[in-house]
Amino acid sequence: MAEQVLRTLMRTTDLLVAGFFSPAAVAAVGLADIYGRLTLWLGLGIGDGAIALSSQDTGSGRSANRDEAVTQALLVGVLAGIPFVLFGLVGSFWAIEILGADAETVRLGGLYLAIIFITAPAFHVTMIAARSIQGTGDTRTPMYVNAGANALNIVLTVVLAFGLGPFPELSIVGIAVATAIGDTLAALTFLGVIYSARSELSLVRPTQWIIAKQLLVISAPRIAEGIIELVAEFPFNAILLAFGTEVNAAYHIGRRVYQQISSPLARGYGTAANILSGQALGRGEADAAYFNGLAAAGLAVLTVGGLGAVIFVAAEPIVRLFTSDPATIGYATGFARAYAVATALIACYIVLAGSLRGGSETRPPFVAKLTGAVCFLLGITYVFGVGLEYGVVAAYVAIVADFVWRNVVVGAVYLRGNWLERGTDMMAERGSLRASDED
């Protein structure tokens, strides 16, 4: 959770600093972040494959299989980052323009996107290495590394954006450069940790194709979730931009309020549930894996839901930290309150999905996100917001309805329990079951 707080604080700082320049700068960072989240989802997707195999093989004591899985995941992450580097160099301005942004937002967003895409391979290494180490049960080392990198990122963001000291004022470019530096240093540090005696992991020469196959099978639906989110964000942001630049900027601010205050806790619970379920399955304790997920979900709903109540009450003064534009403040307060209402639902979904991933089951969250995004987030916003002219209020309702549906889909799969058999079968396939379990 501490790691997630620091990571989201870095992104929050980006928006806060952008807000000092103009609503167009806020919209530029927010729109570029839509594409940036694709690199995030690729890193998370491959990282989910790594953490699932790492936790399961840690529980079963199969360290050789674990090291091979981690090594292969890191190699895939580096290769997957290369297309983003190329796209950042030639297509970043076009990517912002097709969303319908004005000329200034395109200029700022294109510069920002190009810079952060150049370091996509390093960002993937950071995401995958952190989750691989977490799978062994060590969640402190990733926190220390990311804390240092994110703290440096935050300081550099302020210094480079405003031109403090001997540095020139780089505005949005400074924010992006700070992110690129932080991600690169974090990646190099993580690789050093894995090479050192501090980590249980080792980098090896890949030889087992079955492990590569399982990594891709587990990672593909998770990556597809990111693609669905990206595809859905295009029309969703286009609708909001049609309501006005202030509405679009407000959406990114309201979303960031939730992401900074309560999302880190939900993600922390989700990661913990993933590790605990995976290691329990590795030990052959399917009942414990099932219970751990439900217990984590209950705890997440109580604690994160409480923070949602705080966000709802304090929404307006919080969003004022991001902007002084009156129209943007009003809309952002509405978005922040919509996410506040959905907070407990989001926490439950993230934790149950995390437990499923600990059992190597990543398909149900993909189905939940696909159907939720199409039928609820986009469907309600377009039909009621545009067609029936309820405007931005329809977007508030759509955000909550999306996560209600996701919980229905993922909850039904979790309670059936078939995901426990899937995890055990995949362990047997790669030879990671303990001798007592095989007997």
> Cα–chain-centroid distance for residue 68?
25
- Does residue 129 surpass a pLDDT of 90? yes
Q: Using CB atoms within 10 Å of the CB of residue 324, give its burial: 0 to 12 exposed, 13 to 18 middle, 19+ buried.
A: exposed
Amino acid at 68: E
245 token code pair: 């630049």
The answer to whether residues 265 and 273 touch, using CB atoms and an 8 Å cutoff, is: no
CA 188 to CA 74: how far, in whole Å? Answer: 12
Q: How many CB atoms lie within 10 A of CB 97?
A: 17
- Give the pLDDT mean for 374-390: 89
Report in angstroms the alpha-carbon separations of 3 from 53, 178, 268, 272, 344.
22, 18, 8, 13, 21
Strands (E), 223-372: none
Give the Cα separation of 58 and 41 in Å (integer).
Answer: 25
Task: Give residue-wise pLDDT tens across range 3-52.
Answer: 777 777 777 788 788 878 877 888 888 788 878 888 888 888 899 889 98
Q: Whose CA is closest to 45, among 428, 366, 408?
A: 366
Dihedral angle sign, alpha carbons of residues 199, 5, 96, 235: positive
How confident is the model over 252-273, as pLDDT tens digits? 888 888 877 888 889 889 999 9
Q: Report yes or no on whether pTM surpasses 0.75.
A: yes
- String of DSSP letters for 111-158: HHHHHHHHTHHHHHHHHHHHHHHHHTT--HHHHHHHHHHHHHHHHHHH
The domain segmentation of the chain, as residue ranges, is: 2-434
